[in-house]
Structure 1
Amino acid sequence: MALALKKSDLYSSLWKSCDELRGGMDASQYKDYILTLLFVKYVSDKAKTDPSSLIDVPTGGSFEDMLAAKGDKEIGDRFNKIIAKLAEANGLRNVIDLADFNDEEKLGKGKEMQDRLSKLVTIFNDLDFRGSRAEGDDLLGDAYEYLMRHFATESGKSKGQFYTPAEVSRILAKVVGIGPNTRQDQTVYDPACGSGSLLLKAAAEAPRGMTIYGQEKDNATWALSKMNMILHGNEIAEIEKGDTITNPQFTKGDHLRTFDYVVMNPPFSVKSWNNGLENDYNRFEYGRPPEKNGDYAFLLHALTSLKSTGKAAIILPHGVLFRGGAEGTIRTRLLEQGFVKGVIGLPANLFYGTGIPACIVILDKKNAQARTGVFMIDASKGFTKDGNKNRLRSQDLHKIVDTFNKKIEIERYSRMVPMSEIADPKNDYNLNIPRYIDSSEPEDLQDLYAHLHGGIPNADLDALSDYWDAFPQLRNQLFKPNRPGYSDMTFDVGNVQQTILDSPEFRAFVDEAKALTGDCYMAHRDTLAAINAETRPNDLTAIIGDDILAKFKPVPLLDEYDVYEQLMSYWHDTMHDDVFLVMNEGWLDVAGHEVLATGASVR
């Protein structure tokens, strides 16, 4: 039996296919070819094992037909005809057939096109999606996200707007209130849905999915979204085409249709947002956005699209929090109505379309009149560098969501800001986060007397109180009195580290951390041993991760989210592939393959 397809191998094959197309076009163009082939291969594989599939793969319209065209001088034309048959059979004309596989300018002439497309279809033939699961952690979904992320990175500033980073999408889904109790018939809507990844991440937070609605202006990106929905098992999602502000598709007469949840990452500060606007659909009840900036047009569209208990999470530039004029008037009225539930400041340079920092504005109509404050988070410093972009780590995502949903107040990070403080004349309904949360590091004060006369200021040692609380005897071991207010080290500075490592208190601290790690492993050993085809990997990591956070929270000096990140790094690098193999092959078969691969013996 062949090993199941691993995520890492899948990624390698997909990017190899991208290499075949480089040279004749940029990433914004070759993504159409790669994603079309991915789509055809996926639906062809699924049709073999899923008789209830909503996608009909007709004779002459399958991936096998494309494979049969390998080496043919007319391979490009044959590909186009095969894809056209599949599109025609499923009402997907102008969705999956946008890429021209017979374009000599992009794919080369004659033998060059023949070889390029033959190599491409061979790479995809090695991928087997028959076992792919549309349950929030399926390989196909991971592959699609992987490609979209790389396409956005390579496409440059002007063409990366169709993709919202997966980590940010998950934050929006979780802070907007979608979770274990969300029903399948509840609705989620994205008025500027791009490739649809944000909608899918939101719906994936509900145990049985949700009813999905979206609209996208750009034709090619709309087609991506339609394909993405099908690839993730959401064939019945309603994704409409057109400009959401000037031509909204989800309407009832002169009013907008309303939804339970709205999530959105609209284009920032659009200057032409009202070109051709004839009907405002009662969206501007609280004020009309300025002519040259459409940020509040999208925000007000989201608000008007909510049911009476609906909630929205929208990514916007920080300017919406403090700009005056018409925007200041709208912001004041929304705050007075109690619609603004929270604001989360994100790190700069997260998004592919812009390097400026953005924020998440959370709106909530439920019990709005009773709202007495706005919960704010300054998460601008929690990220890691990833090439020329910044990226949220798993720990950053989890901390933001925990802090917001549990309304945890953390010094220099989060607080519930009373409406009375926001409305105070000195703030005048300005929501700029630094007004309310000082996230700057304390100033490093220099003691000139110590520099001149020696000694370590006791005030500097007192500032390390977290360490002395954890190791009460250590301070006296390391320092001795010099004169009032100052201390000296008891031995050479080069011996400090070893003295700490050898101290009984530090050894006890290490033993406690090891014991907690062992306890966590033992607590989940049976769950890991029981991994099978029905296991949901996302649920598995959530259970283990939450247990680690709870166990390490009381431990001094260790940030429980740093410990959690160790688990998630191991998960992404190694454990995900291992779990996927066990799910598909079983523990014994996987162990047997490992024995064959390494030449080891089993006892």
Structure 2
Amino acid sequence: MALKKSDLYSSLWAGADELRGGMDASQYKDYVLTLLFVKYVSDKAKADPDSLVEVPKGGSFDDLVALKGKPDIGEKINVAIRLLADANDLQGVINNADFDDPTKLGEGKAMQDRLTKLIGIFQDLDFSGSRAEGDDLLGDAYEYLMRHFATESGKSKGQFYTPAEVSRVMSQLIGITSSTPKSATVYDPTCGSGSLLLKVADAAPNGLSIYGQEKDNATWALARMNMILHGNETADIRMGDTLVDPKFRSGDTLDTFDFLVANPPFSVKSWTSGLEKEYGRFDGYVRPPEKNGDFAFLLHMIKSLKSTGKGAVILPHGVLFRGNTEATIRRELIKRSYIKGIIGLPANLFYGTGIPACIIVLDKENAQARTGIFMIDASKGFEKDGPKNRLRPRDMHKIVDVFTKQLEVERYSRMVPVSEIADPKNDYNLNIPRYIDSSEPEDIQDLHAHLQGGIPNRDLDALQPYWDAFPSLRASLFRPLRDGYSELDVDKYEVQAAIVGSSEYQAFSASTADAVAGWWVAHREVLESIASTTRPSELIADLGETLLDSFRARPLVDEYGVYEQLMSYWNDVMHDDVALIMSEGWDAAAKPRKTIENKERKLSEVPDLVVGAGRSATKYKMDLVPPALIVARYFSDERAKLDELNDAAEAATQSVDEYVEENAGEDGLLADAMDDDKISKALAVARLRKAKIEDSAGDEVTALTTLVSLYDAEAAAKRAAKEASAALDDATLKQYGKLTTAEVQSLIINEKWGATVARGATSEPSARTHELVSRIRELGERYDETLGALEAEVEALSAKVAEHLATMGVKS
């Protein structure tokens, strides 16, 4: 069975996290990721005799499995991993975690049990085909664990990982094209665990030559492992402090690279500690302030770029506007035109800090011809993800689209001329709000409308995108009241019905559905041809881009919102489905399988179908084709009949409950049969026997006889429903064995994927319509009552109060 990403990720994290105990996540990750690495290279060596990583005798994951339950398991794990490290020159990379440390793993039996269970988490996984045609299951699992460990590691220890979403955006901003050769170089001087470098390499169709440096020994080891896990065994990752001892240099001259990406530690206060040489980094600039290393890193990066080099760097917003020495450096950078663009990001994206940051895009090529800096304020586009914020697919794609196409979008982006930046009123300050006002327009209260009634036309004019989509709708909803003001021509509670019922809205909704259907049909052949050679990343990229193209020219609908619907479904369901089909083929992937129960991996699957009852019941999981699809297509009549039987069973239960409630009071006919305000059939039957002896013709006998018959009817109804449900489940299970390949493809492409994507895409126009309805109702209610009408109402109420007081003899 192919391993589903969702199952792998959740089970790995759940199992590993449970075994962590009180150990800090920043330390525990070394144990988990080391075992993941050993498992991966062991599986690859089994599948590929020419694997670049040699797995020696005694140093494989199978050797670790043989240690499960042994008293000296910790010591022997260290020995096995050291053998693997020695065979591949990975000393200090994979053998940093001490598996025989009682202070972290417990003593004696506690350590033995914990390590035995930890090995068991990985034991049943199979990574032999992990990088099948561009789909990196293992590498993504590594990234998933890294993100969770970063989240758990706290502010001071979570800086080893740059969020994947930010990494993907940066990789697409630096100008890599389909013709970029593998010999082109990419450099990250503060590479952490290497995630940024890998995302850039993935963005290059031919790959890139990777170079990186990392100061922290444990994080450097993570980066080395990460490169191997992602198939970049030849990446040159070196250890050391980039500012004090840059490893990529010839003598005192820094090496230069084609591309650069970096997420350096923010505002380092001790960057000059141990610094003896500047390596020409500050030539032509002033030396950065001793208590803040942001510009020291930035100038190192600029010096490390070739004359045509391009880069993207994450820095805190302060570099855009701080004064004194930093203002002097910033002025010189702007004059040299090295800064191509600046993207303001949401706050709380990064592990280790909650402050907002920006991406500074560098480009030395034709710098002197550059007359402006392209700015984007992307600070409002994100979603909450636990304690952090996270860029959504729509946010990422919009940033990349707008930047690469240099699109000016109101309240979002613009090309800012250097002359404007250099103007004395700005004085080379790059703070984005100076140049882009991203705030929403103020919702102005109209005093004349409050006094005299009516809705200001300027508020209606602000809804022009809706009137463009529905040209006659405004005239049908509003009528002129006086110059500059209109009033609703329908009741404010009828606005939604008026909009949805209009012919223009119906046509718009239908054309949206047609656009989605046409786009999906155009890809049907590609979807049917999914096989082991499919590249999932290319498949979803093609689906996403063509969907965006289908909606770019359509009024009212945000194409990135539609794109988000597709990407959310891809990430949640469709990607797992595609991976399954790639691994097993359409027919095998559609077959039911028995559920997995693996306590060590914390993986206990909820069955999709249960056939039989009790201990003889068999539980099935349908990974690709849910039973509901089979039932809907082949057993709709049986489903309808079952629904009727279930309704009848519910009605029978309700009849019992109602009858008991009517007769179970303190003086009720069923009072003597009650037990703690409850009465079962057994209690009713037992009391009926006694009641017949006491008074065979009494009302209690009649009531109990009726109740027993209602219980009998309920039992019969439930039995009929249960038998019909079991028959339907059995028929459904058998139907899987009859499915042809064409039927499987139709069920998945049309009724599972297609229907879901279509619902998501067409929900966007509905959401925008809801916004229009809400706004019109808000305006209608705001100016519904004029000041004069309110004063008249107050006056009438005051007169009524005075009248009541007079009646009571109270003089006002």
Q: TM-score, normalised by structure 2?
A: 0.73
Q: Which letter does structure 2 place at the counterpart of 1:279? A: K
Is 1:249 the counterpart of 2:271? The answer is: no
Quote the offset at 1:453 in angstroms.
2.2
Q: Which letter does structure 2 place at the counterpart of 1:437? A: I
Q: Is the 8 A contact 1:189 1:213 kept in 2?
A: yes
Is 1:387 the counterpart of 2:386? The answer is: yes
Quote the offset at 1:178 in angstroms.
2.1
Q: Which letter does structure 1 place at the counterpart of 2:361? A: I
Quote the offset at 1:24 in angstroms.
3.1
Deviations 1:134-180 (CA, angstroms, capped at 9, x unpaired): 76531011101100100010111111100000010011111011232
Matched residue of 2:549: which SS? helix
Aligned to 1:448: 447
Quote the offset at 1:19 in angstroms.
2.6
Quote the offset at 1:22 in angstroms.
2.3
Quote the offset at 1:21 in angstroms.
2.4
Matched residue of 2:197: which SS? helix
Q: Which letter does structure 2 place at the counterpart of 1:490? A: D
Q: Is the 8 A contact 1:349 1:356 kept in 2?
A: yes
When Rg is computed on C-alpha atoms for both structures, the one with the higher figure is 2
Q: Is the 8 A contact 1:135 1:204 kept in 2?
A: no
Quote the offset at 1:293 in angstroms.
0.7
Deviations 1:387-410 (CA, angstroms, capped at 9, x unpaired): 121100001000000111111111
Quote the offset at 1:181 in angstroms.
2.3
Aligned to 1:356: 355
5+ long unaligned stretches in structure 2 = 594-608, 610-619, 628-732, 740-812
Aligned to 2:19: 21
Name which of 196, 208, 218 aligns with 1:210. 208
Name which of 136, 139, 142 aligns with 1:141. 139
Matched residue of 1:158: which SS? coil
Deviations 1:498-544 (CA, angstroms, capped at 9, x unpaired): 11111111111111110111011111111111111121111111111
Q: Structure 1 stretch 149-158 or stretch 447-456: which is displaced more?
A: 447-456
Quote the offset at 1:114 in angstroms.
1.3
Name which of 248, 263, 266 aligns with 1:265. 263
Counterpart Cα distance in 1 of 2:574 and 2:292: 46
Aligned to 1:105: 103
Quote the offset at 1:112 in angstroms.
1.4
Q: Is the 8 A contact 2:132 2:532 kept in 1?
A: no
Matched residue of 1:319: which SS? helix
Aligned to 1:510: 509
Q: Aligned in 2, Cα 1:26/1:394: closer, same or farther, shift over 3 Å? A: same
Matched residue of 1:105: which SS? helix
Q: Is the 8 A contact 2:133 2:533 kept in 1?
A: no
Counterpart Cα distance in 2 of 1:111 and 1:178: 54
Quote the offset at 1:254 in angstroms.
1.1
Quote the offset at 1:73 in angstroms.
1.0
Quote the offset at 1:592 in angstroms.
2.5
Is 1:548 the counterpart of 2:547? The answer is: yes
Q: Which letter does structure 2 place at the counterpart of 1:120? A: L
Q: Which letter does structure 1 place at the counterpart of 2:297? A: F
Aligned to 1:344: 343
Q: Aligned in 2, Cα 1:134/1:534: closer, same or farther, shift over 3 Å? A: closer
Matched residue of 1:592: which SS? coil
Is 1:415 the counterpart of 2:408? The answer is: no
Matched residue of 2:213: which SS? strand
Q: Is the 8 A contact 2:342 2:373 kept in 1?
A: yes
Counterpart Cα distance in 2 of 1:134 and 1:342: 36
Aligned to 2:278: 280
Matched residue of 2:523: which SS? helix
Counterpart Cα distance in 2 of 1:11 and 1:568: 19
Matched residue of 1:289: which SS? coil
Q: Is the 8 A contact 1:167 1:392 kept in 2?
A: yes
Aligned to 1:529: 528
Deviations 1:103-132 (CA, angstroms, capped at 9, x unpaired): 112111121111111111111011110110
Counterpart Cα distance in 2 of 1:376 and 1:484: 41
Is 1:307 the counterpart of 2:284? The answer is: no
Deviations 1:187-243 (CA, angstroms, capped at 9, x unpaired): 000000000011101111011211000000001001100110111111111110010
Q: Is the 8 A contact 2:16 2:121 kept in 1?
A: no
Counterpart Cα distance in 2 of 1:374 and 1:475: 41
Q: Structure 1 stretch 452-461 or stretch 16-25: which is displaced more?
A: 16-25
Q: Which letter does structure 2 place at the counterpart of 1:590? A: A
Counterpart Cα distance in 2 of 1:122 and 1:86: 20
Quote the offset at 1:483 in angstroms.
2.4
5+ long unaligned stretches in structure 1 = none
Aligned to 1:126: 124
Deviations 1:28-80 (CA, angstroms, capped at 9, x unpaired): 11101100000000000000111221100000000000001111111111111
Aligned to 1:188: 186
Aligned to 2:580: 581
Name which of 157, 166, 169 aligns with 1:168. 166
Q: Is the 8 A contact 1:20 1:116 kept in 2?
A: no
Q: Which letter does structure 2 place at the counterpart of 1:382? A: G
Is 1:201 the counterpart of 2:212? The answer is: no
Counterpart Cα distance in 1 of 2:355 and 2:17: 31
Counterpart Cα distance in 1 of 2:346 and 2:356: 6
Counterpart Cα distance in 2 of 1:484 and 1:324: 52
Matched residue of 2:223: which SS? helix
Q: Which letter does structure 1 place at the counterpart of 2:450? A: H
Q: Structure 1 stretch 23-32 or stretch 294-303: which is displaced more?
A: 23-32
Matched residue of 1:123: which SS? helix
Deviations 1:340-359 (CA, angstroms, capped at 9, x unpaired): 11111101110011111000
Quote the offset at 1:425 in angstroms.
1.5
Quote the offset at 1:480 in angstroms.
1.6
Q: Aligned in 2, Cα 1:600/1:518: closer, same or farther, shift over 3 Å? A: farther
Is 1:89 the counterpart of 2:87? The answer is: yes
Counterpart Cα distance in 2 of 1:21 and 1:220: 21
Counterpart Cα distance in 1 of 2:226 and 2:734: 43
Greater helix share, structure number: 2
Matched residue of 1:446: which SS? coil
Aligned to 2:561: 562
Aligned to 2:73: 75
Aligned to 1:439: 438
Q: Which letter does structure 1 place at the counterpart of 2:484? A: G
Name which of 40, 43, 46 aligns with 2:41. 43
Counterpart Cα distance in 2 of 1:62 and 1:274: 44
Quote the offset at 1:481 in angstroms.
2.1
Q: Structure 1 stretch 219-228 or stretch 495-504: which is displaced more?
A: 495-504
Q: Which letter does structure 1 place at the counterpart of 2:39? A: K
Q: Which letter does structure 1 place at the counterpart of 2:236? A: E
Quote the offset at 1:449 in angstroms.
1.6
Aligned to 1:403: 402
Aligned to 2:647: none
Query: How many aligned residue pairs are there?
Result: 601
Say what the alpha-carbon RMSD is for the aligned residues: 1.3
Q: Aligned in 2, Cα 1:578/1:600: closer, same or farther, shift over 3 Å? A: farther
Q: Which letter does structure 2 place at the counterpart of 1:252? A: S
Counterpart Cα distance in 2 of 1:96 and 1:388: 30
Matched residue of 2:210: which SS? strand
Counterpart Cα distance in 1 of 2:177 and 2:165: 16
